[in-house]
């Protein structure tokens, strides 16, 4: 079974530039998550989709971050304009269901460096 | 108050010893509790889940849950160098989005 795919793995940009990350979840997984993990911290949920609907985006900085999951499968996370504090690993995860027993499967992450 | 707190600093244990990790959470209605392991430069992977008070054992790992004290712990018995990693406590809220919130993690270093 293929895992969660993410691209690009690494991205370096200057502040005020834009960047986009792509995620393809495990086939059949209805729930997709984007987490931000800053060095030395635990993952922080940015947005959670159930199929193509947003379930939780309460911690997404909506003035600069946006995400979509148009056909209920793959997803894109965009940052525009980037700030220095956005330097982090962006982790995409998926699960079969958002029920309380669901295990999250993470992709390898996209490491962003903002200069 | 943070949703999930892991306050211990890096933990160094000799090979074969027991490593003990602790975690507290703020949402009393939380129902599901997890421990994820994250190797340096890698993504988190689930190693334990626990849903009811008491102990749950899986191989060398034991998770302990005390909902009254809002406390979760992880014991690693017979620690091996391959256990050297950061261990993330995660708690899933009961209502709303069932958001899975993570603590900052505890680094464990097993010394051969």
Per-residue pLDDT 10s for chain B (112 aa) are 788 999 878 999 999 999 999 999 998 888 899 999 999 999 999 999 999 999 999 999 999 999 999 999 999 999 999 999 999 999 987 766 678 899 999 999 999 9
Q: Which pLDDT score, from 0 to 100, does residue B2 have?
A: 82
Q: What span, in angstroms and rounded, lies between the C-alpha atoms of B18 and A93? A: 31
User: In angstroms, how far is CA A69 from the centroid of its own chain?
Assistant: 11
Q: How many CB atoms lie within 10 A of CB B30?
A: 21
Chain A with chain B: Cβ pairs closer than 8 A: 53
Question: Tokens 């999930």 correspond to what residue?
Answer: B4
- Both tokens assigned to A72: 């209920």
Closest partner CB to B105 (pick from A42, A91, A100): A42
Residues A93-110: tens digit of each pLDDT? 999 876 556 689 999 999
Partners of B99 on chain A (C-beta within 8 Å) are: 45, 48, 56
* Secondary structure string (H, E, C) spanning chain B: CCCEECCCCCEEEECCCCEEEEEEECCCCCCEEEEEEECCCCCCEEEEEECCCEEEEECCEEEEEECCCCEEEEEECCCCHHHCEEEEEEEECCCCCCCEEECCCEEEEEEC
Q: Which pLDDT score, from 0 to 100, does residue B1 have?
A: 75
Residues A24-64: tens digit of each pLDDT? 999 989 899 999 999 999 999 999 998 889 999 999 999 99
Interface with chain A: mutation pick from B37, B47, B52, B97, highest number of A CBs within 10 Å: B97
Q: Which of A67, A71, A115 is nearest to A92 (CA)?
A: A67
Q: Is A86 helix (H, G, I), strand (E, B) or coil?
A: helix
On whether any CB of chain A is under 8 Å from the CB of B94, the answer is yes
Question: Tokens 């293929």 correspond to what residue?
Answer: A2
């Amino acid at each position: 079974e293929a895992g969660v795919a993410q691209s690009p793995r690494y991205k370096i940009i200057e502040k005020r530039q834009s960047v986009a990350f792509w995620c393809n979840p495990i086939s059949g997984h209805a729930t997709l998550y984007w987490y931000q993990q800053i060095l030395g911290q635990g993952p922080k949920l940015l947005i959670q989709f159930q199929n193509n609907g947003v379930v939780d985006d309460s911690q997404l900085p909506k003035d600069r971050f946006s995400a979509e999951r148009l056909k209920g499968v793959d997803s894109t996370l965009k940052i525009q304009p980037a700030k220095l504090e956005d330097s982090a690993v962006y982790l995409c995860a998926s699960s079969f269901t958002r029920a309380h027993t669901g295990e999250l499967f993470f992709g390898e992450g996209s490491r962003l460096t903002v200069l | 108050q943070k949703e999930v707190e892991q306050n211990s600093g890096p933990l160094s244990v000799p090979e074969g010893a027991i490593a003990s990790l602790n975690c507290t959470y703020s949402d009393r209605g939380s129902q599901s509790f997890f421990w994820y392991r994250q190797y340096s430069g890698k993504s988190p992977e689930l190693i334990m889940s626990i849903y009811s008070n008491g102990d749950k054992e899986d191989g060398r790992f034991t998770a302990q849950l005390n909902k009254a004290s809002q406390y979760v712990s992880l014991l690693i018995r017979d620690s091996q160098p391959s256990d050297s990693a950061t261990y993330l406590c995660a708690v899933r809220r009961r209502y709303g989005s069932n958001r899975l919130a993570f603590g900052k993690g505890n680094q464990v270093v097993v010394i051969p």
